[in-house]
Chains A and B, each alone.
Chain A
Amino acid sequence: MAKVRLENVSKVYGDVVAVRDIDLEIDHNEFVVLVGPSGCGKSTTLRMIAGLEEISGGSIHIGDRVVNDEPPRMRNVAMVFQNYALYPHMSVRENLAFGLTLARVPRREIDLKVAEAADILGLDELLDRQPAQLSGGERQRVAMGRAIVRHPDVFLFDEPLSNLDAQLRTQMRTEIKRLHRKVKTTVVYVTHDQVEAMTLADRVVIMRAGKVEQIGTPDNIFHYPANAFVAKFIGSPPMNMFDAVVAETTDGKVLRVDSDWQLPVPRHLATRVEAGHEVVIGLRADDITPRGHGMPPREGAVFESAVNIVEPLGSETLLFVNFGPSETIAKMVRPRTVQEGETLSFDVNLEELKLFDRSSGQAIERTRA
């Protein structure tokens, strides 16, 4: 219901810079996910938006207000915590009603709103229980119910699913998405799980060491990672990476991994690199496939290797194979039985090959087709 804008926001604890000059603009009803490794400043950013942490620099806007100096209660945001933070001495009903009671909403209206939220989240049966009598998933739902009853401008989630078991986590993930479709609100969601980020987000913000590495739609960051860090962080299994040097040969430019292992420079990158350029090759498992399983790539290269390890995942199988001097992960989508030790030929889909500058880690941009 409101735009959120962060301008040059930073946070310093003593001599630790937790967040460094973040710029971020979040649209009405947009679902933005902050993702990154532990300690990268996700929670700090979220807590600064909530007003639970003072900002050391920059400014934060919610709607058309600058909220830098507003206490949390003035900001009309709702926060869902990792450990839910339900009030242990109140029933579920009282937990849901607490914020409305504080705002002196009339009793009848509170009852209506609580009933509405309970209905949306399937909490009707639980209203008279104490938090101690709820399962993890139920507590999670109460925590979300407590957020939605107040119709806040912004929802803030800090790793709301990380205390749940794997199965419940996927289920609640979908529920959160459904909830967002139903209760249109601006959401800022923090997680360190890239799958959660990809599945939930309209846009993903990838952070590292207090800085934003890339902002984009899930599709965008998956296919066009801005740098090697993002490329490796997003996608499962992680993108295969090899150091290489560009060399000029009679057949054109090649990426030399070592003296007898090389790949041609793909067409979309040919004009972007010169001989001698030190680069990192990025190839997803999806783009290294055994020959004869699916269509051969339009622009490809072929190599042979023994299969070291086979990891069947049901609908697909991961194969650990030798790629020159190092090991790489290949993927077989329509699996057949493969023996470990068996030698196969593999297609490399050069159209999807990424190159990163080795010293800066930045992606080498492809030429537009």
Chain B
Amino acid sequence: MSGLSHRRGVSRLLGRLELVVIWVVTAVALAPFLWLMVTAFKHRTDVMSPTPKILFSPTLSNFHEAFVIGPFTTNLINSLVTASASTLLCLVLGLPAAYAFSRFRVYGEKHVFFYVLTTRMAPGIALVLPLYMFFQSIGLLGTLTAVTVAQTTFNLALVVYLMRNFFNDIPRELDEAALTEGAGEWQVFTRIILPLARPGIAVTAMISFLFAWNEFLFAFMLGGTGAQTLPAAFPGLVTPHGTYWGQLAAASVVVSIPVLIMIWFIQRHLTRGLTFGAVK
């Protein structure tokens, strides 16, 4: 009896300890973000104050300078356009490819699939130079098209990989039932597979959007000044005359908003997406 209650005491203590650890980890992870939020709403003088100010009168002046006076609204629109367009392109190309990888046995398919994955694993810095020369030679350097295409090349692998897994979860008997009922492969894809994979497609689309949205290197190198996305515009605020911390923070807050919204969505959808396989 006493042994049992002792053990229960120990497990309760462990439970508390766990909670403490979780809080510490959360705090460490959130601290920079909180700092950022606070900075975005500070006056220039408060930002530069040598002793950090906890109490200050909040202001929107940083947002005003970055997005109304400065060029960041254009950058924001560029980001939206390239991230959306590359996501759409990834889905249009990636969904049929993923379906093919999931359903058809092709000689050498494993190698092809691995190759697709490596396009995602290759360091971006190694790819950006050839892409730069390529777009330069066809005269697309500094256009939204260049940024969109570049982002598609590296997100496509991700879309194929994720969607293949979602498609694999759909029982093959459904395809076979449709095939015997008179469907061709394309009809199976559009009328059975795609509707059933909708949660998976939503999650994948958001992840692809986020990767493109957050992407810096390709956008910076290939977008030039004509097609600068929001992240690519950040270095412009670090000038010889000083760094515009307040505006940087304000732009960072704006760039984070879609990320937060989508992560919230993905969390809700992902559980549904993953348990959906049980079609018994």
Contact = CB atoms under 8 A, between A and B. Distances in A.
Question: Does A associate with B in a complex?
Answer: yes
Interface of A: 50-52, 71-73, 75, 77-79, 81, 83, 85, 87-89, 98-99, 102-103, 146, 150, 156
Contacts of A79: 176-177, 180
Given A83-B171, A83-B280, A88-B279, A102 B181 contact: yes
A51 B185 CA distance: 13
Nearest to A90: B195
B182 A87 contact: no
A52 B181 contact: no
Nearest to A158: B173
5 contacts: A51-B179, A73-B183, A81-B176, A81-B177, A87-B192
Contact of A85 (B174, B183, B187): B174
Given A73-B184, A85-B173, A88-B279, A98 B178 contact: yes
Given A83-B280, A89-B196, A73 B182 contact: yes
B48 to A, nearest CB: 58
B177 A102 contact: no
B181 A98 contact: yes
B269 to A, nearest CB: 16
Contacts of B174: 85, 87-88
Interface in B169-208: 171, 173-174, 176-184, 187, 191-192, 195-196
Nearest to A139: B280
B171 A150 contact: no
A72 B196 contact: no
- Interface residues on chain B, size class: 10 to 19
A77 B177 CA distance: 11
A85 B171 contact: yes
**Chain A to chain B: the 6 pairs with minimum beta-carbon distance, closest first:** A99-B181, A85-B173, A85-B177, A72-B179, A102-B182, A73-B182
Given A85-B171, A85-B173, A87-B174, A50 B182 contact: no
Nearest to B177: A85
B229 to A, nearest CB: 37
Contacts of A71: 179, 184
Contacts of B279: 83, 88
B123 to A, nearest CB: 39
A45 B171 CA distance: 21
B181 A150 contact: yes
Most buried by B among A52, A71, A85: A85
Contacts of A83: 171, 173, 279-280
A77 B180 contact: yes
A132 to B, nearest CB: 9
B196 A99 contact: no
Given A88-B196, A89-B195, A89-B196, A81 B173 contact: yes
A73 B179 contact: yes
Interface in B231-280: 279-280
A257 to B, nearest CB: 50
Contacts of B179: 51-52, 71-73
Contacts of A146: 177, 181
A268 B146 CA distance: 90
Contacts of A103: 182
Contact of B183 (A81, A102, A150, A156): A102
B176 A85 contact: yes
A157 to B, nearest CB: 12
Given A71-B179, A83-B280, A89-B195, 7 more contacts: A52-B180, A85-B176, A85-B177, A87-B177, A102-B187, A150-B181, A150-B182
Contacts of B192: 87
A88 B171 CA distance: 11
B243 to A, nearest CB: 53
Nearest to A89: B195
B74 to A, nearest CB: 42
B257 to A, nearest CB: 33
B180 A50 contact: yes
Contact of B180 (A78, A87, A88, A89): A78
A50 B179 CA distance: 9
B173 A72 contact: no
A327 to B, nearest CB: 41
A166 B182 CA distance: 33
Contacts of A51: 179-180
A166 B71 CA distance: 73
B176 A52 contact: yes
Contacts of B180: 50-52, 72-73, 75, 77-79, 156
A146 B176 CA distance: 13
A87 B177 CA distance: 9
A176 to B, nearest CB: 18
Most buried by B among A75, A87, A99, A146: A87
A73 B181 CA distance: 6
B119 to A, nearest CB: 31
